């Protein structure tokens, strides 16, 4: 059983766990399934909007695929979420990404 299959099985048992959705998205990136990864990260940013790690990964993926305007929107949203969560480190990392998204 692959790591992706293990994560999907775990998600079936705990469908409300944002980390499992995030881990699946990361596995999809590793597998080169970028559209599926983008879809999963987008789902996370909507359904689990307070899950801060999503924003860095989603913005990175968008920027790498020359979707800078979308990446910038995600970064700005992520900065606000990180600040609300008191996660200064994540807010700082996201702020540093702004130049990459342009």
Residue 1 binned pLDDT confidence (cut-offs 50, 70, 90):
confident
Question: Rounded to two decimals, what is the model's pTM?
Answer: 0.90
Report residue 85: phi and psi, to 5°: -85, -5
Residue 10 binned pLDDT confidence (cut-offs 50, 70, 90):
very high
pLDDT tens figures, 47-97: 999 999 999 999 999 999 999 899 999 999 999 999 999 999 999 999 999
The DSSP letter of residue 39 is H
Q: CB neighbours of 91 closer than 8 A, spacing ≥ 6?
A: 78, 79, 82, 83
Supply the CATH classification number for the domain 3-101.
Answer: 1.25.40.10
Question: Could you give the CA distance from residue 84 to residue 98 in angstroms, rounded to a whole number?
Answer: 19
């Amino acid at each position: 059983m692959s790591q992706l299959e293990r994560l999907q099985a775990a998600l079936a048992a705990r469908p409300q766990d944002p980390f499992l959705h995030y881990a699946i998205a990361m596995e999809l990136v590793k597998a080169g399934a970028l559209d599926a990864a983008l879809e999963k990260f987008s789902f996370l940013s909507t359904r689990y909007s307070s899950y801060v790690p999503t924003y860095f990964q989603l913005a990175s993926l968008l920027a790498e695929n020359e979707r800078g305007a979308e990446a910038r929107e995600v970064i700005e949203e992520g900065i606000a979420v990180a600040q609300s969560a008191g996660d200064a480190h994540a807010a700082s990392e996201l702020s540093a990404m702004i130049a990459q998204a342009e």
